[in-house]
Amino acid sequence: MTGTLIPALARGRAAAPAVAGPDRVAEASAPAALEAPRISPQSRRRRLGRGRLFPGARLAGPLLVLLVWQVAASAGLLDPRLLTGPDVVAVSGWGLLQDGTLATHVGASLGRAVLGLALGTVAGVVLAVVAGLTRVGESLVDGTLQVKRAIPNLALIPLLILWLGIGEEFKVTIVALGVLIPIYINTYSALTGIDTKHIELAESLGLTRWQYVRSVLLPGALPGFFVGFRLAVVGSWMALIVVETINATSGIGYMMSQAQLYAQSDIILVGLVVYGIFGFTSDALVRLLERRVLSWRRTLAS
C-alpha cells in the first residue's frame, strides 16, 4: 500500500462532490436571476483567510525594535553604561568577528546545541511512540515524564554535576533534557489524538499493524511533532545560556558572563543578538521543513 491514508483523506475531502438533496434540486429549478453569486473556494479563502505574507515579513517586528532602540539611543534616552545603541553593538560584534573571538564561541555553542537537540529529539520521539502505541508503554512512560516535567532542569544541575562533572557531557545533557519534554508532550498528544474514524477506516481496509502505524499514526502525529520541535529548538538555546555560565571556558554564554565582570554591556548585547539570530533562523528552517513535509495540509499558515 503506497502513500498514507491521512494525506489521501485530506485531498479527498477537497475533491469530493456535494451530494444532491431536495434543497439542491429546488435551487437548480429556480430562475437564474434569483440565484446568489457563487464564490469559488479560492476567493472565499482570500476574503475570510489571513492572506499571504510577503517575503521577509517576519523580519518587520525585529527591525522595528532595532529602529526604536537606535532612535532612543541617538536621542540620549538610554544610559550607554547600561544599554548601548545598536550601532555600538554592531561595531563591537564586528571587532569580535575580525579577531576570531566570536567565531570560536559561536562554534562551541552550536556544537552543544545541535548535539543536545539531536539526542533530546530522538529520545522524545521514541518515548512518545512507546507511550502512544500501547497502554503498557503509556503506564510506564507517561507518568514518569510528567513527574520530570514538573522538575525544572535547573534543579537537576547539582545532581548532574555530581554524576557527570562540569565537562561537555553535563552541558549536552542539560540541553537534551530541555528538548525532550516539548518533543514528547506534543508528539504523544498528537498520537493519542488521532481521529477514531481514521482507525476504523484502516481496520475496514484490513491494514496490518505496521501499515496502520505508517499510513495513519505517523502522518497524523507529524503536525504535533513539528509544534514540539519548534519549541524544542528554542528550548535548546535557552538551556544553553544556563549551562555556558557554569564553569565553561567557551561559548556565547561564557563570553557574556566574562563581559559582565568588566561591565561591557555592548559585548553582552552582542551575545543576546547572536542568540536571537540563531533562534529566529532555526525557527524559520523548521517552518520551511514543516511546509515541505506537510504539503498535503491546507491551513491558514499554508
Question: Is the pLDDT reported for residue 184 higher than 90?
Answer: yes
**Which range of residues forms the domain containing residue 9?**
2-30
Provide the pLDDT confidence category of residue 116 given band limits of 50, 70 and 90. Answer: very high
pLDDT interval class at 179 (50, 70, 90):
very high
Residue 80 three-state SS: coil
> Whose CA is closest to 13, among 205, 198, 227?
198
Higher pLDDT, 271 or 22: 271
Grid cell digits, residue 229: 520541535
Per-residue pLDDT tens over the stretch 66-110: 899 889 988 888 888 888 888 989 999 999 999 888 999 999 999
Is 197 contained in some domain? Answer: yes
Look at residue 51 and tell me if it is in a domain. no
Q: Does any domain span residue 45? A: no
Residue 168: per-residue pLDDT: 87
pLDDT in tens, 206-234: 888 788 878 788 888 888 899 999 999 98
**Do residues 25 and 129 both lie within one domain?**
no
If asked whether residues 146 and 253 sit together in one domain, one would say yes
Structural domain includes residue 7: yes
The mean pLDDT value for 22-51 works out to 51
**pTM for the model:** 0.75
109 burial type by CB count under 10 A (0-12 exposed, 13-18 middle, 19+ buried): buried
H helix or E strand, kind and range, residue 220? helix 218-243
pLDDT of the residue at 33 = 44
**Residue 233 belongs to domain with CATH number:** 1.10.3720.10
Q: Are 18 and 135 in the same domain?
A: no
282 found inside a domain: yes
* Residues 174 and 250 both lie in one domain: yes
**Number of residues that make up the chain:** 302
Q: Does residue 243 share a domain with residue 168? A: yes
Contacts of 241 (CB under 8 A, 6+ apart): 252, 253, 275
Domain assignment present for residue 252? The answer is: yes
Residues 115 and 261 in one domain: yes
Question: Looking at the predicted structure, is the pLDDT value of residue 28 above 80?
Answer: no
90 and 16 within one domain = no
Q: Are residues 24 and 118 in the same domain?
A: no
Q: Same domain, yes or no, for 200 and 123?
A: yes
50 lies in some domain: no
Single-letter code of the amino acid located at 187: T
Tens of pLDDT, residues 139-173: 889 888 989 888 888 888 889 888 988 888 989 99
Q: How many domains does the chain have?
A: 2
- In this prediction, residue 48 has a pLDDT band, given cuts at 50, 70 and 90, of low
Q: What angle do CA 155, 158, 163 make, to 5 degrees?
A: 125
Do residues 204 and 281 both lie within one domain? yes
